[in-house]
Amino acid sequence: MLNNTTNHKKIHIILLIFSLVFIFYKIHFKSSVGILGDELNSILVYSTNIYTLFLKNFPGNVTFFHSIGWIGSKVLGYDLINFRTITFLLFAGTVYVFYLQFRSINFLYILILLSLSSYLILYAGFYLGYIFSSLLFVLIFYFILKNDDNTKSKIIFFLLFLQLYNHLVNLYLCLPILLYLFICNKRHFRNNLKYFIVYFCVPLSVFYMLSIILTGLSLAKLSNYSLITAFDYLNNNFLDIFFSGSNRIFFYEAYADAKNFSITILFKNIFFFDKIFLFTIAILIVFLLVNIKTKKIPKKIVFIMWIHFLMFFLINKDPAPRIFNGFF
């Protein structure tokens, strides 16, 4: 009996690998997609130069994702397929974490079928940061489901730091998870407060301070960016650099000029962007409503998801539909 179970697992893994290889072939060889402008920006600006890696002059710099690309470029060169393969491997990692959580090959096949018919699979073939965000969120929820004894909170806080530094838009889901760690884990409040400071606040502050300074310096448009010149200018104009860098990162025009949130406009935009996403969100809401009576979904997941939806009203900005590639 044990041998049969082991053999079934091996067959499942082989089938899963075969499916992923087929998807990779379909994305990169069967149907060739030209390079996107955002990909060019990701590669040429942020993934090939250590000096621009921590710039946050545009929201598209997903620093830790681009760090992987930067390392890859040093080892493998600047081939587009190499950069796009990084994204696909992250997608494969996301699928594997789902498998670890649910231990159901049928669930994985459903996931892959959904992916094939949605923009998710398209973005799995581009060198963009959405799939990286998806993987981190999947890992976060994987550890949340195993965090009844609070032993995974350190990891969760650290992953949340990675998410929020990578892209501010992740606040929509990061904040609900942070609230869960404190509100739903009251017994471990003191420990979580310590973890929050050490594994979230400190690294987030350090990295954002670095990015604020670098972004402020880049906006100053100095004629010479040698270390001596940059440090001298920073020493004499620190507050100007700090405020200009902060304004660029946290109040970028794409955020400031976004329309106020409207649920009808949001669903309309998602409908035209990708009907599968709209279907997924609708099913999720139905499950949450049904769960009020059945109570089959873990309370912590229910709490996070309701707060997640509430965040769209609280932030009160109309988000671009493509951000859902990172959430769902």
Query: Does residue 296 carry a pLDDT above 80?
Result: no
pLDDT reported for residue 195: 92
- C-alpha 274/C-alpha 298 separation (Å) is 28
User: Highest-confidence range of 116-125, 139-148, 265-274, by mean pLDDT?
Assistant: 139-148
pLDDT reported for residue 159: 95
Instruction: List the domain boundaries for the chain.
Output: 1-145, 164-170+181-255, 263-327
pLDDT tens digit sequence for 241-258: 889 888 888 877 666 556
Amino acid, res. 251: F
> Do 134 and 94 meet the contact criterion of CB atoms below 8 Å apart?
yes
Output 198 or 145, whichever has higher pLDDT: 198
Nearest 5°: the CA angle 138, 265, 286 is 50
Helix, strand, coil percentages (3-state) for the chain, rounded to 5, are: 80, 0, 20
pLDDT reported for residue 205: 94
Question: Which residue intervals of 33-127 are DSSP H helices?
Answer: 37-40, 63-76, 80-102, 105-116, 119-123
What average pLDDT score do residues 141-156 get? 88
- C-alpha 78/C-alpha 218 separation (Å) is 25
- pLDDT-derived band of residue 161, with 50, 70 and 90 as boundaries? very high
Residue of 142, 48, 132, 53 whose CA lies nearest to 87 = 132
pLDDT tens digit sequence for 225-241: 777 787 888 888 889 88
> Do 124 and 131 meet the contact criterion of CB atoms below 8 Å apart?
yes
pTM of the model: 0.82
Query: Does residue 1 carry a pLDDT above 60?
Result: no
- C-alpha 165/C-alpha 205 separation (Å) is 9
Cβ contacts of 63 within 8 Å, gap of 6 or more = 46, 53, 54, 56, 165, 166, 207, 211
Q: Is 318 helix (H, G, I), strand (E, B) or coil?
A: coil
Q: Which two tokens stand for residue 52?
A: 């621009």
Q: Would you say how long the chain is, in residues?
A: 328
pLDDT reported for residue 279: 72
User: Highest-confidence range of 50-54, 212-216, 277-281, by mean pLDDT?
Assistant: 212-216
Q: Which two tokens stand for residue 38?
A: 């955002």
Query: Does residue 168 carry a pLDDT above 60?
Result: yes
pLDDT tens digit sequence for 305-322: 888 778 777 766 666 655
DSSP string, 209-235: HHHHHHHHHHHHT-S---HHHHHHHHH
- C-alpha 136/C-alpha 159 separation (Å) is 7
Query: Does residue 282 carry a pLDDT above 50?
Result: yes
- pLDDT-derived band of residue 2, with 50, 70 and 90 as boundaries? very low
Q: What does the DSSP 8-state code read for residue 50?
A: T
- Please give the share of the chain, as a percent, with pLDDT higher than 70: 73
pLDDT reported for residue 208: 92
